[in-house]
Amino acid sequence: MNVLVAYATRHGSTAGIAERIAAALGTAGVSAEAHPVSEVADLTPYDAFVIGGAAYMYHWLKDATAFVKRHRAELAERPVWLFSSGPLGTDRVDKEGRDVLETGQPKEFEELKGLLHPRGEQVFFGAWDPSAPPVGIGERLLRHMPASKEALPAGDFRDWPAIEAWAAEIAEALKSGEAPVN
C-alpha cells in the first residue's frame, strides 16, 4: 500500500497539512508520501490518494482541481480522500450559527464528489500571515483594506489533532480494506 498525499498551496500551510497527513499515515503503518500536485505526473506507483488544496475566495486552488480532472479516470478507480484548508480564526460557527468547516467547503467539491466518489472529504482550519510576500494583485490590494483584518484573522489555526485523527481514520480504512474500489 503506497499512498500519495498530493497538495496545492499558495503560502505553504496546506503543504504542512499534507506532510502531517503523510507522516501520520506512516505512523499508522501505511506508507505515504506528500508531493505538490505540480510535481506528480504518474499515478501508477500509488494505491490510494489524499488530495488537498487551500481555498481562496470560496474556490479550491486551480492546480488541485486541474490535477483531479487530469487524472480523473485513474483516481475514480482507487480510494480517494479530499481535503481543503481555509477557515481562519478560532470560531467554529459563523454569525449565522453555521459550522465554518461545512461552509468552508470550496465550490468545486460538489462536482468533484460526483466525479470521484471520494471516501471522505474534510475541511481544516488554515493559516494566514499577512506579512508574507503577497501573491497576486488581490492579496496586494487586501493589505490596504482595513476590513480584511476582521475577515482574515492572522495566525496559524491548523488543528493538528484533527488532522492526525483524520489521517488515522484513513489508515484504518485502508488497512481493513474498508475502502472498496468505486
Ligand X SMILES: Cc1cc2nc3c(=O)[nH]c(=O)nc-3n(C[C@H](O)[C@H](O)[C@H](O)COP(=O)(O)O)c2cc1C
Amino acid letter at 169?
Answer: E
Q: Which is nearer to ligand X, 30 or 105 (CB)?
A: 105
Under the criterion CB under 6 A, does residue 12 sit at the interface with ligand X? yes
Cα separation, 64 vs 133, in Å, equals: 22
Q: Which is nearer to ligand X, 78 or 155 (CB)?
A: 155
Cα separation, 118 vs 82, in Å, equals: 7
- Closest by CA to 50, choosing from 13, 11, 23, 10, is 23
The least CB distance from residue 87 to ligand X, in Å, is: 5
Amino acid letter at 174?
Answer: L
Q: What is the dihedral of CA 158, 168, 107, 74, to 10 degrees?
A: 130
Could you tell me which stretch among 31-39, 41-49, 121-129, 165-173 binds ligand X (CB under 6 A)?
Answer: 121-129
Under the criterion CB under 6 A, does residue 139 sit at the interface with ligand X? yes
- φ/ψ (deg, to 5) at 7: -140, 155
Under the criterion CB under 6 A, does residue 104 sit at the interface with ligand X? yes
The least CB distance from residue 91 to ligand X, in Å, is: 12
Under the criterion CB under 6 A, does residue 13 sit at the interface with ligand X? yes
Tell me the torsion sign for CA atoms 46, 166, 20, 122.
Answer: positive
The least CB distance from residue 29 to ligand X, in Å, is: 28
The least CB distance from residue 151 to ligand X, in Å, is: 8
Under the criterion CB under 6 A, does residue 142 sit at the interface with ligand X? yes
The least CB distance from residue 177 to ligand X, in Å, is: 32
Q: What mask of x and - would describe binding to ligand X in positions 55 to 94, judged by CB under 6 A?
A: xxxx--------------------------xxxx------
- Write the DSSP assignment of 42-81 as a string of letters: --TT-SEEEEEEEEETTEE-HHHHHHHHHTHHHHHTS-EE
Q: Binding residues for ligand X, per CB under 6 A?
A: 9-14, 54-58, 85-88, 104, 126-128, 138-139, 142, 152
